[in-house]
Amino acid sequence: MTQKTWGGRFSQAPSQIAQEFNASLRFDRRLALVDIEGSLAHAAMLGQQGILSPEEAEQIRQGLLAVRQEILEGRFPWREELEDVHMNLEARLTELVGPVGGKLHTARSRNDQVATDLRLWLRQELDGALEDLKALRRVLLAQAERYLEPPLILPGYTHLQRAMPLLLSHWFMAYYEMLSRDAGRLKDARARLNESPLGAAALAGTGFPIDREATAQALGFARPMRNSLDAVGSRDFVLEALAALTIGQVNLSRLAEEIVLYTTLEFGFATLPDAFSTGSSIMPQKKNADHAELIRAKAGRVLGSFVTLATLSKGLPLAYNKDLQEDKEPLFDAMDTYRASLRLLAAMLPGLVWHPEAMRQAAASGFALATELADYLAERGLPFREAHHVVGRLVRYCLEERKELHQLSLAELQSFHPLFAEDALALTHLESAIHRRRSYGGTAPEAVREAIKTAKAELEGEA
Ligand code: ARG
């Protein structure tokens, strides 16, 4: 038999072209192991409920285990003409155990079956992604610690204009915080999807005396889903995961972009490890940040997956529609992309070689310390707006005289405002600017040390 048939209703075999168009085996093979897990739970429950005899349930169990073995050993005879993973596994089961294999599908439909499979698969992958993410967060934390003592200083930017000096550790911790929220979103998605659609059958439930609590429990779900129509017709759990993955990838793209920038000759703050850069086929001097660029680009790709699923879900009538077969490829692709990006960054970041002198020089020039002087005047009673204005004029003077702030004499400072005294001169030094920013969440070494300590405890305390 090479053709799949749907039994008595059909007198004509499907056309080859229609069959190929309809098939999902090419990508849903990826669900094979979770599909078997679901079938094992279902068969055991059918046996317990007396819907199948104990012998039948056992025969099916043995058959499913044999099928699983074939898959694990890569010798499962996949047949494209059988449309999808579910039909393939059931057909093979029946080949192995005989007609009793056909009883597995009692009180079940592919609609609740595929919804169950996808939840199981996604739950497992979210756990994997959370592990990958944790590994990267650990790396960020380790880098933050590594560059705290002696502290590496770089300019912080707003509008990509030098704004104020920062500790490199503080910069690393900013990404740690962003990625920790990403983890929170993945966990939320996982918690909400962990309910069992199994037993919803085609859309309305079943007349067989099934035990949905039992299958839910066997599969590690928190509970059976409460509404059969919703159970088979909803994919908002995939959408939610894709939203979380999109935000995660967008955050990674920002880190990637800063790596691209900082490793240019123009910035010169860091050098990529050879193992994580590429050359040019024509320009011998080039060392390109291809991998970081790809991570930056892939944010578009993951968002594309979200948009694909949101678009196909919009206006879709209940319950199952074949449109829902199109949920898998975007999900698989987004998950693979995100996890690969996490692993790449975790491997690359520790190998970045930072250049303290170049970073320091950039942080000390370009008037990144002008705010210090404005704060100084404000602390001595001048309204901040006025102080801002005074220092603005000072900066213009420096530009005209081609001087940096730290090259100004006390007399020069005082010619702009009499409140300037000897101690103002010290403010134009990097360290003092950094050390003054002790406010909670600020860039002073003691504040950053505190942040690292908190993060470490949090990370190790996570399940
Ligand atoms: N291959 C299908 C999918 O991925 C399985 C469910 C098919 N259900 C149906 N009623 N045709 O969505």
Nearest CA to ligand 1 atom 7: 110
- Ligand 1 probe mutation, 325, 331, 332, most atoms within 8 A of CB: 325
Residue found by looking up tokens 């059931």 in the block: 90
| CA–CA gap between residue 225 and residue 321 (Å, rounded) | 19
Pair 223, 196: CB distance under 8 Å? yes
Asked if 304 and 409 sit in the same domain, the reply is no
- Ligand 1 probe mutation, 110, 309, 331, most atoms within 8 A of CB: 110
**Which pLDDT tens digit goes with each residue over 9-44?**
888 888 999 999 999 999 999 999 999 999 999 999
| CA–CA gap between residue 8 and residue 135 (Å, rounded) | 55
To the nearest whole number, what is the mean pLDDT of the chain? 95
**Residues within 6 Å of ligand 1 by CB:** 24, 28, 84, 110-111, 114, 320, 322, 324-325
- Ligand 1 probe mutation, 27, 39, 316, 322, most atoms within 8 A of CB: 322
Strands 161-167, 270-271: pairing is unpaired
Could you tell me the distance, in angstroms and rounded to a whole number, from the CA of residue 328 to the centre of ligand 1? 11
**pLDDT at residue 458 greater than cutoff 60:** yes
Could you tell me the distance, in angstroms and rounded to a whole number, from the CA of residue 20 to the centre of ligand 1? 14
For residue 119 the two structure tokens come to: 């939840």
Asked if 396 and 315 sit in the same domain, the reply is no
Asked if 94 and 32 sit in the same domain, the reply is yes
**Which pLDDT tens digit goes with each residue over 96-126?**
999 999 999 999 999 999 999 999 999 999 9
Asked if 125 and 92 sit in the same domain, the reply is no
Domain boundary among 299, 330, 353: 353
Which segments of 235-289 does DSSP mark as H helices, in order?
236-262
State the pLDDT at residue 278.
84
Phi-psi region of 251 (alpha: psi -120 to 50; beta: other; left: phi over 0): alpha
Nearest CA to ligand 1 atom 2: 325
Confidence of residue 1 (pLDDT cuts 50, 70, 90): very low
Nearest CA to ligand 1 atom 11: 322
**Which pLDDT tens digit goes with each residue over 368-385?**
888 889 999 999 999 999
**pLDDT at residue 280 greater than cutoff 80:** no
Distances (CA, A) of 231 to 112, 193, 196, 211: 7, 11, 8, 16
Q: Is residue 3 part of a domain?
A: no
**Which pLDDT tens digit goes with each residue over 203-254?**
999 999 999 999 999 999 999 999 999 999 999 999 999 999 999 999 999 9
Q: Is residue 2 part of a domain?
A: no
Domain boundary among 106, 129, 144: 106
**Which pLDDT tens digit goes with each residue over 284-308?**
777 899 999 999 999 999 999 999 9
Report the domain count for the chain: 3
- Domain CATH for 297: 1.20.200.10
Q: Is residue 295 part of a domain?
A: yes
**Active-site residue among 11, 15, 159, 439?**
159
Pick the range with the lowest mean pLDDT from 117-131, 153-167, 420-434. 420-434
**Which pLDDT tens digit goes with each residue over 326-341?**
999 999 999 999 999 9
Q: Is residue 175 part of a domain?
A: yes
**Active-site residue among 53, 196, 234, 280?**
280
Could you tell me the distance, in angstroms and rounded to a whole number, from the CA of residue 128 to the centre of ligand 1? 26
Residue found by looking up tokens 């393939």 in the block: 88
**Which pLDDT tens digit goes with each residue over 240-249?**
999 999 999 9
Strand extents, DSSP E, 196-340: 270-271
Asked if 102 and 125 sit in the same domain, the reply is no
Q: Is residue 91 part of a domain?
A: yes
* Mean pLDDT, residues 398-409 taken together: 92
- Domain CATH for 446: 1.10.40.30
Contacts of 424-428 with CB under 8 Å at 24 or more apart are: 424/373, 424/376, 427/369, 427/372, 427/373, 427/376, 428/369, 428/372, 428/373, 428/404
The continuous run of DSSP H or E covering 164 comes out as strand 161-167
State the pLDDT at residue 2.
46
Nearest CA to ligand 1 atom 3: 325
Asked if 138 and 256 sit in the same domain, the reply is yes
Nearest CA to ligand 1 atom 12: 325
Point out the ligand 1 atom lying closest to the alpha carbon of residue 85: 1
Q: Is residue 4 part of a domain?
A: no
Longest CA pairwise span in the chain (Å):
101
Could you tell me the distance, in angstroms and rounded to a whole number, from the CA of residue 110 to the centre of ligand 1? 6
355 catalytic, yes or no?
no
Q: Is residue 421 part of a domain?
A: yes
Asked if 222 and 333 sit in the same domain, the reply is yes
| CA–CA gap between residue 30 and residue 332 (Å, rounded) | 9
Asked if 332 and 374 sit in the same domain, the reply is no
Nearest CA to ligand 1 atom 10: 111
Point out the ligand 1 atom lying closest to the alpha carbon of residue 83: 1
Asked if 94 and 70 sit in the same domain, the reply is yes
159 catalytic, yes or no?
yes
Q: Name the residue range of residue 81's domain.
A: 15-106
Q: Is residue 309 part of a domain?
A: yes
State the pLDDT at residue 11.
87
Cis peptide before 209 (omega within 30 of 0): no
Contacts of 289 (CB under 8 A, 6+ apart): 259, 260, 263, 272, 277
**pLDDT at residue 5 greater than cutoff 80:** no
CA 234: distance to chain centroid? 22
Neighbour-count burial of 125, counting CB atoms closer than 10 A to its CB (0-12 exposed, 13-18 middle, 19+ buried): buried
Asked if 97 and 146 sit in the same domain, the reply is no
Could you tell me the distance, in angstroms and rounded to a whole number, from the CA of residue 28 to the centre of ligand 1? 10
pTM assigned to the model: 0.94
Domain boundary among 319, 353, 387: 353
For residue 331 the two structure tokens come to: 């999900």
Asked if 119 and 32 sit in the same domain, the reply is no
* Mean pLDDT, residues 48-66 taken together: 98
State the pLDDT at residue 59.
98
- Domain CATH for 80: 1.10.275.10
Could you tell me the distance, in angstroms and rounded to a whole number, from the CA of residue 223 to the centre of ligand 1? 23
Pair 413, 393: CB distance under 8 Å? no
- Ligand 1 probe mutation, 89, 111, 234, most atoms within 8 A of CB: 111
Asked if 84 and 121 sit in the same domain, the reply is no
* DSSP one-letter string for 25-69: HHHHGGGHHHHHHHHHHHHHHHHHTTSS-HHHHHHHHHHHHHHHH
Could you tell me the distance, in angstroms and rounded to a whole number, from the CA of residue 325 to the centre of ligand 1? 6
State the pLDDT at residue 4.
59
